């Protein structure tokens, strides 16, 4: 896969030089509730992951791309996961690392680029996402690109001593 180019950002495959950036995101405890992580990752583990990041989505069932600005500064990550070729669907997740870079359209452009790529080149029929009920910025982002709320998973995630509800959203082509 080549770089997907937008007006403000580009999406590109992960490279070995992204080690520190990925390490910072994966080990930021304030973000763990978004991915259900409960333990930090070592540099070794992330280095090994990056060595295999080039593998085909049909083989590993995941595609993780770096979101970078036009000066090649990393801003975040966007993932397709649980890629299901038979049923032509995948989940999507996105994170813009620094709060100062959020609400500037980077996430929306990244998601839009990935959706177009997924439908055109991967032949997906639908993409879904899971969003915590109180994550209003993500709800706004996904709804702005046509995702529809199709379900509520009650008490789905346990964070900071309490259960949280999670919405299931879908975009069907």
| Per-residue pLDDT tens over the stretch 67-100 | 999 999 999 999 999 999 999 999 999 999 988 9
Using pLDDT thresholds of 50, 70 and 90, give the confidence band for residue 23: confident
At residue 63, what are phi and psi to the nearest 5 degrees? -140, 115
The residue ranking higher by pLDDT, 156 or 160, is 156
Q: What is the mean pLDDT of residues 157-168?
A: 91
**Residue 118: partners with Cβ closer than 8 Å, 6 or more residues away:** 80, 90, 124, 127
CA distance linking residue 57 with residue 29, whole number of Å: 28
Q: What is the mean pLDDT of residues 106-131?
A: 96
Write down the pLDDT at residue 58: 67
Question: In terms of Cα–Cα distance, which of 97, 126, 113, 109 is closest to 34?
Answer: 97
Task: Please provide the distance, in angstroms rounded to a whole number, between the alpha carbons at the two ends of the chain.
Answer: 22
Report how far Cα 43 is from the mean position of its chain's Cα atoms: 21
Write down the pLDDT at residue 47: 79
Rg of the chain, C-alpha, whole Å = 16
Tell me the three state secondary structure of residue 39: coil
Write down the pLDDT at residue 149: 98
CA dihedral 113, 116, 117, 118 (to 10 degrees): 120
Least confident window among 23-37, 65-79, 118-132: 23-37
CA dihedral 26, 30, 36, 38 (to 10 degrees): 70
**Average pLDDT score over the chain:** 89
Using pLDDT thresholds of 50, 70 and 90, give the confidence band for residue 160: confident
Is the model's pLDDT at 171 over the cut of 90?
yes
Using pLDDT thresholds of 50, 70 and 90, give the confidence band for residue 41: confident
Write down the pLDDT at residue 143: 98
Region 4-172: CATH code: 3.40.630.30
DSSP state of 154: E
pTM assigned to the model: 0.88
């Amino acid at each position: 896969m080549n770089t997907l180019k937008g007006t403000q950002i580009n999406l590109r495959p992960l490279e070995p030089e992204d080690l520190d950036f990925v390490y910072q995101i994966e080990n930021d405890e304030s973000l763990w509730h978004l991915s259900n992580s409960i333990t930090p990752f070592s540099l070794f583990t992330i280095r090994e992951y990056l060595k295999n990041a080039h593998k085909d989505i049909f083989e590993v069932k995941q595609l993780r791309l770096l979101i970078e600005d036009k000066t090649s500064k990393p801003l975040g990550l966007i993932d397709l996961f649980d890629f299901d070729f038979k049923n032509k669907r995948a989940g999507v997740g996105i994170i813009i690392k620094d709060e100062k870079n959020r609400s500037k359209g980077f996430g929306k452009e990244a998601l839009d680029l990935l959706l177009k790529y997924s439908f055109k080149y991967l032949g997906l029929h639908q993409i879904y996402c899971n969003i915590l009920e109180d994550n209003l910025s993500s709800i706004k982002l996904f709804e702005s690109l046509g995702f529809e709320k199709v379900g509520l998973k009650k008490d789905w995630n346990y964070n900071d001593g309490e259960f949280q509800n999670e919405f299931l959203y879908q975009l069907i082509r």
